[in-house]
Amino acid sequence: MPTFDPSRFQRIADALQGTGGFRDGSYLVQYPRESDEKFARRKAIAWYANAMRPACQRFAGYLTKRPPQRQVTQPVLQSFLDACNWQNDNLDVFWSGFMLDAKARGSLLLLVDMPAEGMATDRTWPAVSAIEPERVTAYAVNPVGALASVTFTATLTLDGKDIAVSRTYDEAGWKVVAGSQILQQGAHDLGVCPVLAFTDSGLFPAEGEFATIADLSQRLYNLRSELDEILRAQTFSLLTYKVPADRFPLDMGGVAQSIGTHNLLQTFDGGAEFIAPPEGPARVYLDVIAQVEALIRQAALIVDIPTSNSQESGVALQLRFQALNASLVHFARRMEDFERRVWELAGRWLGIEPKVSVRWSQDYSIADLKTEIEVAQNLAALNAPSAYQQAKLKQLIQLDLGTLAEDEMAAILAGVDEMQQELNP
């Protein structure tokens, strides 16, 4: 069974939300010979530039541009599709937020539950709720790797007050506990645990490929804070007063002499001038920061389109696009399988066999449209076969209009075939 470390997922969540140690400065590391006072001041002014959330938003955005295709014939399941959670969000709307959190952590749980008896609602179908892995305190899996039981922290409103509780769901029922007291409990006849585990890879718990962004973000958070300290302490010129040897050191009236922007430095010889600290330390930090930022962009699968002055080859750019497409397809396949399990569990709650077909896109074809057009033009100038040019035109249309509905796209591609037949009867 994979090792479970809730604190690890908490750090990833903090990187995603800009909370925890990224907000109060506790993720900063005190460097040698730094006083507690200076460290406290540095923590107070530290700032965090979130790299995790934009990366996850970009990734989820690619997936939502091509929403899954579904056929739902049963009215009660159509109601579930239209209002899948307690906020009555459409399933696609819910998935967009779920995928963002799941991509950041690599793992995310989903509770599929029915309204409790006596609950003030007209809802007669299940509702889903995401459970972050950092809230899980205990879990067990069955022989096939599915969750057999899970316990996680939550809040419960009693007498108008929110109290911290622990919720447990297993293959027989559920209970809500505060301390050692069972506040609520119940049974179900599902035969399975109503909590499903989604993972980017492997069994729960599993970190995803974006987890390293959290580590790099913490390092970058420290680097920027340390650079700020250098700039605050050394950027401003230092006043020096050159004191003759026979008068050195000059009587400062009992004021202790210290080096800093708030005082002067006495030296030999006459005259006074300003000296500026060397830029070397700050330049070193800027170079290291640039290297860490580049690693974050690489981990986030960000593909930078090279400029005309770039030495990057077209093959290298194509390989990076292929890596992004492969990651998207892998995640979409995971989501398709996960959604089928959600429909199956919803059917168990309702006592019906769900008649639902769902298909997520298996080809996202993320590429640089400008580069692909240049390739098509060059090959057309070389008298490429008409069949190739026709296929290339279809590819360009799909890249440019990838968000169209399938029937609209099919009509446009059919028009390309008709145009080709007219040109080559």
Could you read off the pLDDT of 313-358 as tens digits, one per residue?
A: 555 666 677 778 888 889 999 999 999 999 999 999 999 999 999 9
Question: What residues contact 298, with CB distance under 8 A and at least 6 apart?
Answer: none
pLDDT at position 249: 63
pTM of structure: 0.77
Least confident of 49-53, 221-225, 370-374: 370-374
Q: What are 6-43's pLDDT values in tens digits?
A: 999 999 999 999 999 999 999 999 988 888 998 999 99
CA distance 22 to 278: 30
Burial of 47 (0-12, 13-18, 19+ CB in 10 A): exposed
Take residue 207 and report the two structure tokens written for it: 């970190």
Average pLDDT, the chain: 82
Query: What are the pLDDT digits (tens) for 183-210?
Result: 989 999 899 999 999 998 878 888 988 9
Residue with tokens 């506040």: 183
**Confidence category of residue 4, pLDDT binned at 50, 70, 90:** confident
The DSSP element (H or E) to which 324 belongs, if any, is helix 314-350
Task: Tell me: pLDDT of 105 over 80.
Answer: yes
Q: What is the percent of the chain with per-residue pLDDT over 70, rounded to a whole number? A: 71
Query: Which residue is it, tokens 């995928």?
Result: 99
Cα distance between residue 271 and residue 252, in whole Å: 17
Helix (H, G, I), strand (E, B) or coil at 43: helix
Q: Which helix (H) or strand (E) holds 81?
A: helix 75-82
Tell whether the model's pLDDT for residue 296 goes beyond 60.
yes
| Segment 119-125 mean pLDDT | 82
* pLDDT mean over 396-404: 61
Q: pLDDT for 57-99, tens place per residue?
A: 999 988 888 888 899 999 999 999 999 999 999 999 999 999 9
Report pLDDT for 255: 47
CA-based R_g, the chain, Å: 30
- Write the single-letter amino acid at 7: S
Helix 91-105 / helix 52-64 crossing angle, nearest 10 deg: 140
- 247, 316 in Cβ contact below 8 A? no
